[in-house]
Structure 1
């Protein structure tokens, strides 16, 4: 199995004595093992020569794990011992892509409950859920679920998605409902190696 950290991923570095830093990866990196990952180019606000060491929440193609990381000169490196293991393993086969998506988001805050139109692209999909990047710099705060229409290679996929994680313009969710006519096409598409 190959470990991949996709471009555009959000990684969190927690350093002692300071707030957590969310970093965006600028390029995809791949290795056979997590400890063999090359330096990951990231977007940071630090000046040259600033060094930060902390616990890195590393989101990869195989799941999420925590490792010791060092950031210097817009490069994030895995340091120290190999991690104990992945704490989240995706259970179903996934397929990357850039599939146009549009739909309606249910936004719930303490003050209101409203529907908001959204557009973007699905960058990763499985029979369990998806990763979507919105077509705006930032999604509205408090999205609980979506009704999405995704342009897949075989045709449109309509699905209800419960939000698992939302950061800036990226949203991860699990399927609550998939249009029955598209469910078998999705399963076949995701099983392609």
Structure 2
């Protein structure tokens, strides 16, 4: 599927019905999600791969991976309502039988893999909390991802590379892609209709 066609498909995905400030629930914009996934696809990390989406929200990254011919996609989110919305979006976008969603805390996933309840993922995609509400909110996601997947693609605030490189060792960042993340007015404290922040998408390779 070409980039523009993927973006048009993901535009149809609905956002959060009642977004949580504590969970930093913002819908990943379709253009960013499509570019993010297309980069992973062109690197050989999506097609015919087992893909996990940590903090999947309403499923836009999971669904995109499915549309790009992943072998199996599982989205995980701690918010039951988000999981319900993700299932609905997958059905509406005809993402196919290869995608499923589970209500789960991502911190539990490495243990599930050790106990053979889950297989290790070929690729993990995620848009974790940036830590705007509580510093370090992205750390459980990074820790779980490098423990559960061979390749990780993750969106973070611009300038996070130095911290992430230290935190994920012995995993390493192999690529960094700069992008813009337009956040629509979601909560009462937002003053602008759209606030655009600079982000970086990191490709992380796990040596294990």
TM-score by length of 2: 0.26
The structure that is strand-richer by fraction is: 1
Q: Which has the larger radius of gyration?
A: 1
The structure that is helix-richer by fraction is: 2
TM-score by length of 1: 0.28
